[in-house]
Amino acid sequence: MNFPSTRLRRLRRTEAMRSLVRETHLHPGALIYPLFICPGESVRKEIGSMPGVFNLSIDEAVKEAEACAALGIGGLLLFGLPAEKDEQATGAWAEDGIVQSALRKFKNSRALAPLVLIADVCLCEYTSHGHCGVVARDGDHYEIENDSSVALIAKTAASLAKAGADIVAPSDMMDGRVEAIRDALDVGGSEQIPVMSYASKFASAFYGPFREAADSAPQFGDRRSYQMDGANLREAMREIDQDIAEGADMLLMKPAMPYLDVIRAARERYDLPMGAYQVSGEYSMLHAAFQRGWLEPERAMMESLLSIRRAGADFIVTYFAKDAAKVLG
Ligand SMILES: [Zn+2]
């Protein structure tokens, strides 16, 4: 049937009508807010390139988390800035590590009970060189070692689960980490803790502002020998296949907006719960435009999130979580 018998505008005439036929919805429970936890007390240091996002000491992080819980946000993704860094990322798996300490505090708060606490698992915030794994050097040449990194990553995941993480989320992109983490969790009595794998994480310029937030910029080289080439969709599917075979319970796609096609392809192919991470650069880019008055903040924010949901993500990790939850009421 064609025009004039079919008039698609009939269903767009009022907000009530549009609401009735809306295909994609956002809700606060499917938003996850990242927190950057730093040492000290009463520390609340804004990240220059990410307005409204802070490095928070544990006491301040508790307040931020309580605000998230009150808004009905689904969960938090925790990153740590340790007091000291070294070649072996000791702070990542130390029992009194910064995120482990925060998790124990959070678990003691009744107000935070509705939040799913997700611990990012990686070494880059904890290594002195800022790479996500162990570095082997030979003169000018260096290599990010896979298997020795995986051993430390698995140890980190087990330690975070023991401290109270509800989900562990490896973001390192080493081969074989999901299986190693699953084994370490099971051996450590955390067999009920799911692994959310950053299965297809692309080497992206859009992570720039995060490196200021997490103080994790590599001191030399880049991450292209472990993170994926942005040109490769089929390889992303192979990464996901592998992580599922190794026991991943959920997937996280990263970044979101420049890779919506990858999210869509994964949604069509896999039945695992899947989230997408609207990364720091996506947030900063929009905020830069807001500051100049070039984009309408609320509408642009909600449209960016809706695009990620429509592409197929069940949930979204976003620095807009609090602002969006307020809009969604
Ligand atoms: Zn990393």
Rounded to the nearest whole angstrom, what is the distance from the C-alpha of residue 261 to the centroid of ligand 1?
24
Instruction: Determine, yes or no, domain membership for 240.
Output: yes
pLDDT classification of 213: cutoffs 50, 70, 90:
confident
Instruction: Determine, yes or no, domain membership for 8.
Output: no
182-190: long-range contacts at Cβ-Cβ below 8 A with a sequence spacing of 24 or more? 182/246, 182/247, 183/154, 184/154, 184/155, 184/157, 184/158, 185/157, 185/158, 185/161, 187/158, 188/158, 188/161, 188/162, 189/162, 190/158, 190/161, 190/162
Report how many domains make up the chain: 1
Instruction: Determine, yes or no, domain membership for 316.
Output: yes
The per-residue pLDDT for 140 is 84
- On the question of pLDDT at 1 being above 90, the answer is no
Strand partners, 195: 168
Instruction: Determine, yes or no, domain membership for 110.
Output: yes
- On the question of pLDDT at 216 being above 90, the answer is no
Q: Is 155 a catalytic residue?
A: no
Strand partners, 116: 75
The per-residue pLDDT for 133 is 94
User: Taking each helix axis from N to C terminus, what angle separates 260-269 and 233-245, rounded to the nearest 10 degrees?
Assistant: 40
Instruction: Determine, yes or no, domain membership for 18.
Output: no
Joined together, the tokens standing for residue 215 give 């103080």
Lowest-pLDDT range of 55-69, 198-212, 262-276 = 198-212
**Full domain range(s) for residue 116:** 24-328
Catalytic, out of 85, 155, 201, 322: 201
Rounded to the nearest whole angstrom, what is the distance from the C-alpha of residue 172 to the centroid of ligand 1?
5
Average pLDDT on 86-108 reads 96
Average pLDDT on 10-36 reads 98
Q: What CATH number did the domain enclosing 208 receive?
A: 3.20.20.70
- On the question of pLDDT at 69 being above 90, the answer is yes
Rounded to the nearest whole angstrom, what is the distance from the C-alpha of residue 126 to the centroid of ligand 1?
9
pLDDT classification of 205: cutoffs 50, 70, 90:
very high
Rounded to the nearest whole angstrom, what is the distance from the C-alpha of residue 125 to the centroid of ligand 1?
7
- On the question of pLDDT at 91 being above 90, the answer is yes
The per-residue pLDDT for 43 is 98
Instruction: Determine, yes or no, domain membership for 237.
Output: yes
Max mean pLDDT range (131-140, 206-215, 310-319): 310-319
The per-residue pLDDT for 214 is 86
Predicted confidence (pLDDT) per residue in 224-261, tens digit = 999 999 999 999 999 999 999 999 999 999 999 999 99
Predicted confidence (pLDDT) per residue in 164-198, tens digit = 999 999 999 999 999 999 999 999 999 999 999 99
pTM confidence score: 0.97
- On the question of pLDDT at 315 being above 90, the answer is yes
Residues 69-108 as b/e (b if ≥16 CB within 10 A, e otherwise) read bebebbbbbbbbbbeebeeebbbbbbeebbbbbbbebbee
Rounded to the nearest whole angstrom, what is the distance from the C-alpha of residue 293 to the centroid of ligand 1?
34
The per-residue pLDDT for 139 is 85
pLDDT classification of 120: cutoffs 50, 70, 90:
very high
Q: Is 322 a catalytic residue?
A: no
- On the question of pLDDT at 212 being above 90, the answer is no
Catalytic, out of 85, 105, 155, 254: 254
Instruction: Determine, yes or no, domain membership for 3.
Output: no
Instruction: Determine, yes or no, domain membership for 17.
Output: no
The per-residue pLDDT for 291 is 97
